[in-house]
Amino acid sequence: MLICDPNHSPLHILHEKLAADPARVVLRPFHLAWQSNVAEPSRAAQLAGDILAMNEDEAEAQLGLVWKDFSERHWQIGRIFDQRFAEVAEDLALEPAGISPVKRRLIGAYFCHEYSYAAAALMNPSVVPHPDQSGLASDQQRFIMSMRAVGEGHISSVAFREGIIGEGGDFTLWPQSGPAMAAVADDRHRLGEDGKVGVHRQPDSAISNSVLFPMTEAQRGGIEDLRLVPFVHDDGRTEYIGTYTAYSGQAIRSELLRTADFSSFSLEPLGGRAARHKGMALFPRKIGGRFRMIARQDGKNITILASDSLTDWDDEGQILMRPAFAWELVQMGNCGSPIECDEGWILLTHGVGAMRKYSLGAALLDRDDPTKLLARTTCPILSAAESDREGYVPNVVYTCGAMRVGDDLFIPYGISDSAIGFATTPIARLLASMS
């Protein structure tokens, strides 16, 4: 009988942790969701009318109160209020030329609200090399980490942190030196369409202060568990691509985030039978002339998919790994995109065992034919223990992607759907733990 020792792991756990932070707030559009069937005009139109009915002195005094309360909590608050007014004016057919600048901003303020995007949890990170690697020592690497941030209403969004790591696990997260700002749609009129949408970071907003919120109806309940990978195209161009789960509040589907610079992003649904499921992870390059994806199509086993199209995955795939050990008997899944090394592809996995306890494992796939499983860990490389057991969903450790740093792996991981921890391991040591 195989008995795993939880204290025997190839991973080195770092002391740094990231936790939920209700002080991280962004300005978001406020929508009046309810209106009577007989109300004429709409509640939004009534509100705008009440503001327009104020005399200028009253409007200026009210805007002054807003400014006093919120201007130090947000950058470019005046510009945001102006943008929001322009949207409201278009929707309500207001004539901006006849409205004073003070009332325009006040209307914009009434149709905004603060949203604490990470008040409930930070979890399920992935990490990729930063597009800018200038000015670093030879053993250092700059990185961007994505995180699933959960706020009011359990709505999930995507937040980012930047940092620097060296071999051996010496790493630093850059401080979030300014207020958070929500990315905005390139064209808000396309958000009702069930297709590709473009979004961009706000001017002067650093990557570490930017948040990607759900944009479409299919994403309304959240965008979850982004698995980022630096994908190298046939022409040598690197594009950062991430698969994530779009949740409408009733249904899920897999979608794709694409960016070249973390300034502008595209969000688009994946097509095909495989996209009906969650937890897809893209290989960082084509293999044998085809795109490859790790997935879980039956809710239990790890599957590998192939496609001639990056966005169409009409493939049931083939089973790559089945649960074999006590700690993974309930189900298995990937923990991010495979990582290439001389020996093959390292695939981080998760397994669910008794009492719905999540643990991390790893496997090695053939470099030329990743349908071939060469080795796997028989025991977890990381399980929830001690303080890491406590959280919104207890007894869970989970990651959406690691990064190679020289001869090491850097693994940020979610702790009980509440916080983020960090670990490193020499690749050789991880491979030696497989059989």
How many residues are listed for the chain in this entry? Answer: 435
Q: Which of 115, 142, 157 is the last residue of a domain?
A: 115
Residues 155, 72 share a domain? no
Residues 133, 70 share a domain? no
pLDDT at 36 over 70: no
Residues 111, 55 share a domain? yes
**365: containing domain:** 117-432
Question: Is 16 inside any structural domain?
Answer: no
Annotate 9-28 with DSSP letters as a single string.
-S-EEEEEEEE--TT-EEEE
Tell me the C-alpha distance between 153 and 167, whole Å.
Answer: 40
Residues 149, 84 share a domain? no
Decide: 430 and 339 in contact? Cβ < 8 Å: no
Question: Is 355 inside any structural domain?
Answer: yes
Tell me the C-alpha distance between 364 and 341, whole Å.
Answer: 10
Closest CA to 415 of 360, 347, 351: 360
Residues 76, 127 share a domain? no
Question: Is 406 inside any structural domain?
Answer: yes
Q: What is the CATH number of the domain that holds 266?
A: 2.115.10.20
Q: What is the pLDDT of residue 98?
A: 94
Question: Is 12 inside any structural domain?
Answer: no
Question: Is 274 inside any structural domain?
Answer: yes
Decide: 142 and 133 in contact? Cβ < 8 Å: yes
Place of tokens 């084509």: 286
Question: Is 153 inside any structural domain?
Answer: yes
Residues 324, 200 share a domain? yes
Residues 198, 65 share a domain? no
Q: What is the pLDDT of residues 256-282, one digit of tens each?
A: 999 999 999 999 999 999 998 899 999
Residues 179, 65 share a domain? no
Q: Label the pairing between strands 171-173 and 156-166.
A: antiparallel
| CA 250 to each of CA 218, 246, 379, 395: distance values in angstroms, whole numbers, following the listed order | 9, 10, 36, 26
Q: What is the pLDDT of residues 292-349, one digit of tens each?
A: 999 998 989 999 999 999 999 998 899 999 999 999 999 999 999 999 999 999 999 9
Residues 64, 136 share a domain? no
Tell me the C-alpha distance between 159 and 181, whole Å.
Answer: 10
Tell me the C-alpha distance between 415 and 406, whole Å.
Answer: 26
Q: What is the pLDDT of residue 387?
A: 66
Q: What is the pLDDT of residues 365-416, one digit of tens each?
A: 999 999 999 999 999 999 988 667 878 888 999 999 999 999 999 999 999 9
Judge if pTM exceeds 0.85.
yes
Residues 280, 170 share a domain? yes
| Sign of the CA dihedral with 90 first, then 95, 100, and 101 last | positive
Residues 121, 83 share a domain? no
Vertex 205, ends 203 and 208: CA angle to 5°?
155
Identity of the residue numbered 66: V
Q: What is the pLDDT of residue 41?
A: 82
Count: domains in the chain: 2
- Adjacent-strand bridge partners of 102: none
Tell me the C-alpha distance between 177 and 336, whole Å.
Answer: 29
